[in-house]
Amino acid sequence: MAVDPLIELHGVNKHFGELHVLRDIDLTVGKGEVVVVIGPSGSGKSTLCRAINRLETVESGTIRLDGRPLPEEGRALARLRADVGMVFQSFNLFAHKTVLQNVSLAQIKVRKHAREAADSRSLELLDRVGLAAQAPKYPAQLSGGQQQRVAIARALAMEPKALLFDEPTSALDPEMINEVLEVMRQLARDGMTMVVVTHEMGFARSAANRVVFMDDGRIVEDRPPEEFFTAPRTERAKDFLSKILKH
Amino acid sequence: MNVLIDNFSLYAEGFLGTLELTVYSSVLALLLGFLMASFRVAPVRSLRVFGTVWVTVLRNTPLTLLFFAVLLGLPRFGVVLPFEVFAVLALGCYTSAFICEALRSGINTVPTGQGEAARSLGMTFTQTLNLVVLPQAFRSVIPPVGSTLIALAKNSAIAGAFSVTELLGTYKTLSELGYNIVWTFVWIAVGYLIITFAISALFNALEKKWGVAR
């Protein structure tokens, strides 16, 4: 893997005030790869994920997507973001739009597709995440798991080169987590390039090509999931795994 | 009652003057307020600074002083316009500062995640603002914008002091004609009430149709 890099970070640093949240991050994600980022809270994993499409700016280092450096604010950045989908912890569906409009909006306004074409593609995608029947409803009428699946369909509607997941199941009731993870597993099987920040170790084991373990703003380990979970190299990772895998 | 019937055309002229000032200034204030609110949340620093200065200067200047500045100041720079237009400029710019802040408070009620989601889909700043943030902000700014426009209707009385025809100014003529000052003012007050109640009714209707569902 990683022969054909899609996302490349080199020497990336970022501070939040005094806090050094990203320290000399080097990370390469190849086309079709699924990289799961785990670590204790405050370790910088969400910031890393958000830096990839510049929702967080970085102070030093380079971030490249498909070989091109991340542009500054403006139209070029908007174009690039259209190619990198993002799924958030709090879903962030547009509250004033129906489910169908949520999925169609950017296709029409950013990709300039005709409304009919956009809507029919949206329905296809909603069907794929099992929610075609909910198309005319508003986000507030759906459960958390359903909202998150709509958010995934909305990101997919842009035909992205890669998808970023920022703790997609952390705000969900336990029984809804699986319906979202199942959609994500299917995407992984279909060859989508994915960076997933999560606490779902089961997903990391079953779907990831690599597990990246972060602590205190650094990437501490970056290895295939079986190796990482059975024989972590660092004390910090051993300690982390012993705490979360016990119960 | 006599004062109204005897001088109906004078009252009507004043009423229409106030109505015109209110409508034109409101349109100007809404447009400028919208523009300034966009500036104040823009990703470009110079626009944010411009918006902040605009609001700070206009919100902290007494309206009467602003009228003097516009009516006496602009002609010195060769800008000569009818007094009515100057009055609309002064009232509109002054009120736009308050509209801007009302809109901005509405923008702040929209969770930041909505804007992030829009940007992550590749929308530009303008698209994010117009398609996602402002439609949701709009629902919560209806009441404060209504209040601001009512204040504008009443502030228009200041224009009377600068020889613009408006409702309050009619009292001068009427008291010279020897009419009872109390009744003169009662009918003036009724005229203002008609305008302010109309604004209230409009914004109540808007709130019923678009307001946040509870």
pLDDT tens-digit series, residues A83-130:
999 999 999 999 999 999 999 999 999 999 999 999 999 999 999 999
Is 90 exceeded by the pLDDT of residue A3? no
Distance from CA of A171 to the nearest CA of B (A): 14
Is 90 exceeded by the pLDDT of residue B75? no
Pick from A53, A81, A170 the residue to mutate for testing the B interface (most B CBs within 10 Å). A81
End-to-end alpha-carbon separation of chain B, Å? Answer: 45
Q: pLDDT tens for residues B158-168?
A: 988 888 888 88
Q: pLDDT tens for residues A171-195?
A: 999 889 999 999 999 999 999 999 9
Is 70 exceeded by the pLDDT of residue A1? no
Q: Indicate the burial class of A67 (C-beta count within 10 angstroms; 0-12, 13-18, 19 or more).
A: exposed
Query: Do the chains contact at B120 and A53, CB–CB below 8 Å?
Result: yes
Distance from CA of A60 to the nearest CA of B (A): 20
DSSP 3-state assignment of A220? strand
pLDDT grade for A75, boundaries at 50, 70 and 90: confident
Residue type, A155: A
């020497």: which residue's tokens? A11
Q: Which residues of A touch B136 (CB under 8 A)?
A: 94-96
Backbone dihedral angles phi then psi of residue A55, each to the nearest 5 degrees = -70, -25
Query: Do the chains contact at A55 and B43, CB–CB below 8 Å?
Result: no
Lookup: tokens for A124: 């296809």
Query: Do the chains contact at B120 and A79, CB–CB below 8 Å?
Result: no
Nearest to A158 among B121, B124, B135 (CB): B121
Residue A72 sits at the vertex; the CA angle it makes with A71 and A75, to the nearest 5 degrees, is: 80
Report the b/e string of A87-123 with b at 16+ CB within 10 A. Answer: bbbbbbbbbbbbbbbbbbbbbbbbbebeeeebbebbb
Is 70 exceeded by the pLDDT of residue A27? yes
Backbone dihedral angles phi then psi of residue A23, each to the nearest 5 degrees = -115, 110
What's the pLDDT score for residue B179?
A: 85
Is 70 exceeded by the pLDDT of residue B214? no
């009055």: which residue's tokens? B87
Residues B19-23: what's their mean pLDDT?
A: 95
d(Cα B197, Cα B191) in Å, to the nearest integer?
A: 10
Query: Do the chains contact at A110 and B135, CB–CB below 8 Å?
Result: no
Using CA coordinates, name the residue in chain A closest to B124. Answer: A78
Query: Do the chains contact at A106 and B123, CB–CB below 8 Å?
Result: yes
Query: Do the chains contact at B114 and A53, CB–CB below 8 Å?
Result: no
Is 70 exceeded by the pLDDT of residue A41? yes
Is 50 exceeded by the pLDDT of residue A241? yes
Q: pLDDT tens for residues B28-62?
A: 999 999 999 999 999 889 999 999 999 999 999 99
Q: Indicate the burial class of A130 (C-beta count within 10 angstroms; 0-12, 13-18, 19 or more).
A: middle
Backbone dihedral angles phi then psi of residue B122, each to the nearest 5 degrees = 95, 10
The percent of residues in chain A predicted with pLDDT above 70, rounded, is 98
Residues of A with CB under 8 A from a CB of B: 53, 55, 73, 75, 78-86, 88, 90, 92-96, 105-106, 109-110, 151, 154-155, 158
Q: What is the widest separation between alpha-carbon atoms in chain A?
A: 56
- The CATH code that applies to domain B2-210 is 1.10.3720.10
Pick from B46, B109, B120, B130 the residue to mutate for testing the A interface (most A CBs within 10 Å). B120
d(Cα B154, Cα B173) in Å, to the nearest integer?
A: 20
Q: pLDDT tens for residues B180-204?
A: 888 889 999 999 999 999 999 999 9
Mean pLDDT of chain B: 91
Q: pLDDT tens for residues A225-237?
A: 999 999 999 999 9
Lookup: tokens for A197: 């920040």
What's the pLDDT score for residue A184?
A: 95
Q: How many Cβ atoms are within 10 Å of B97's Cβ, its own excluded? A: 23
- Assign domain A5-92+161-245 to its CATH architecture: 3-Layer(aba) Sandwich (3.40)
Using CA coordinates, name the residue in chain B closest to A160. Answer: B121
Q: Which residues of A touch B123 (CB under 8 A)?
A: 78, 106, 109-110
Residue type, A128: R
Query: Do the chains contact at A55 and B120, CB–CB below 8 Å?
Result: yes
Residue B207 CA: distances (Å) to CA of A3, A132, B24, B56: 57, 32, 22, 29
Mean pLDDT of chain A: 93
B141: Cβ contacts below 8 Å, ≥ 6 apart: B102, B103, B105, B106
What's the pLDDT score for residue B174?
A: 86
Residues B101-105: what's their mean pLDDT?
A: 95
d(Cα A80, Cα B30) in Å, to the nearest integer?
A: 34
Nearest to A92 among B43, B116, B135 (CB): B116
d(Cα A83, Cα A90) in Å, to the nearest integer?
A: 21
pLDDT grade for A246, boundaries at 50, 70 and 90: low
Query: Do the chains contact at B131 and A82, CB–CB below 8 Å?
Result: no
What's the pLDDT score for residue A2?
A: 47
In chain A, where are the structural domains located? 5-92+161-245
Query: Do the chains contact at B117 and A85, CB–CB below 8 Å?
Result: no
Q: Is the dihedral of CA B113, B114, B117, B122 positive or negative?
A: negative
How does DSSP classify residue A18?
T
What's the pLDDT score for residue B212?
A: 62
Is 80 exceeded by the pLDDT of residue B102? yes
